[in-house]
């Protein structure tokens, strides 16, 4: 199940806004029965309804899954300096290694 923050991010992007937690334009809270939006003050955009947020469930799950894939790939790729050295020494071997990493960690 996708988290509330992921769904809010997609809602904002669909309405030409970006998620910026530093601006404190919203407050999320969990009183024990799940996360909810306690306050909302995004300029020019109404607070989303539960139904609107629910419509982003599938997309948010996919985004979360792809985020995990990106993390796994980044770890498998290794240090950029080492990659550049590998490319310099044998670019074909590097291409094979990167292709295998992508095949082992497909995006949804």
The answer to whether residue 24 scores a pLDDT higher than 70 is no
Q: 33-62 pLDDT, tens per residue?
A: 889 999 898 888 999 999 999 999 999 999
Can you give the residue range of the structural domain that contains 28? 4-104
Which token pair is 19? 């998620």
Are the C-beta atoms of 23 and 56 separated by less than 8 Å?
A: no
* pLDDT value for 41: 87
Domain count, the chain: 1
* pLDDT value for 20: 77
Q: Region of 14 please: left (phi>0), alpha (psi -120 to 50) or beta.
A: alpha
Residue 93: how many other CB atoms lie within 10 Å: 11
């Amino acid at each position: 199940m996708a988290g509330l923050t992921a769904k809010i991010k997609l809602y904002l992007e669909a309405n030409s806004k970006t998620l910026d937690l530093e601006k404190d334009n919203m407050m999320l809270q969990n009183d024990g029965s799940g996360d909810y939006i306690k306050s909302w003050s995004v300029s020019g955009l109404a607070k989303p309804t539960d139904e609107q947020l629910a419509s982003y469930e599938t997309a948010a799950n996919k985004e979360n899954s792809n985020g995990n894939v990106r993390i796994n790939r980044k770890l498998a790729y290794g240090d950029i300096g080492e990659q550049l050295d590998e490319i310099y020494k044998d670019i074909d071997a590097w291409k094979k290694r990167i292709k295998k990493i992508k095949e082992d960690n497909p995006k949804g």
